[in-house]
Homo-oligomer: A and B are copies of this chain.
Amino acid sequence: MVGIEDVAAAAGVSTATVSRAIRGLPRVSPKTRARILETAKELGYVPSSSASRLASGKTRTIGVLAPYVDRWFFGKAIAGVDEELHGKGYNLSLFHLGGRTAPRERLFSRAMVHKQIDAILLLCMYLHPEEIDDLHAIEMPLIVIGGPVPGCPNVGIDDYRAARTITEYLIGLGHRHISLLHGQDDSDLNFSVPKIRMEGFQDAVTAAGLELHPDASFYGNFTVESGIEAMRKFLELPEPRPTAMVCASDEMALGALFEARRRGVRVPEELSIVGIDGHEMGAAVGLTTVWQDPLAQARRGTQMLLAELAGEVGAVHSETAEQRLVVRESTAPPSHG
Query: Which A residues lie at the B interface, using CB under 8 A?
Result: 46-51, 53-54, 57, 59, 61, 68-72, 75-76, 78-79, 82-83, 86, 91-96, 98, 111-112, 114-116, 223-225, 227-228, 254-255, 258-259, 262, 280-281, 284-286, 295
Contacts and interface: CB of A to CB of B under 8 A. Distances in A.
Contact of A115 (B47, B59, B76): B47
A265 B271 CA distance: 22
B59 A54 contact: no
Contacts of A224: 280-281, 284
A70 B295 contact: yes
B115 A49 contact: yes
A86 B101 CA distance: 13
A261 B64 CA distance: 39
Nearest to A60: B116
A70 B59 contact: no
B50 A115 contact: yes
A262 to B, nearest CB: 7
Contacts of A280: 223-225
A86 B94 contact: no
Given A53-B50, A284-B254, A96 B116 contact: no
Contacts of A47: 115
A93 B96 contact: no
26 contacts: A46-B111, A48-B54, A49-B112, A49-B115, A50-B53, A50-B57, A50-B59, A53-B53, A69-B79, A69-B82, A70-B295, A75-B75, A82-B96, A83-B96, A91-B95, A92-B94, A92-B95, A93-B93, A94-B94, A223-B280, A224-B280, A224-B281, A225-B284, A228-B284, A258-B284, A259-B284
A195 B86 CA distance: 29
Counted per complex, copies of this chain come to 2
The SS class assigned to the A binding surface is: helix
A75 B68 CA distance: 9
Residue with the highest number of chain B CB atoms closer than 10 Å, among A47, A82, A254: A82
A46 to B, nearest CB: 5
A194 to B, nearest CB: 20
List the 6 shortest-distance A-B pairs measured between CB atoms, nearest first: A70-B75, A50-B53, A258-B284, A50-B54, A70-B79, A75-B75
Contact of A92 (B71, B93, B115, B228): B93
Given A46-B112, A93-B93, 9 more contacts: A46-B114, A50-B50, A50-B53, A51-B54, A61-B93, A82-B96, A91-B93, A254-B284, A262-B285
Contacts of A93: 61, 91-94
Given A111-B46, A223-B280, A224-B284, A69 B59 contact: no
Contacts of A284: 224-225, 227-228, 254-255, 258-259
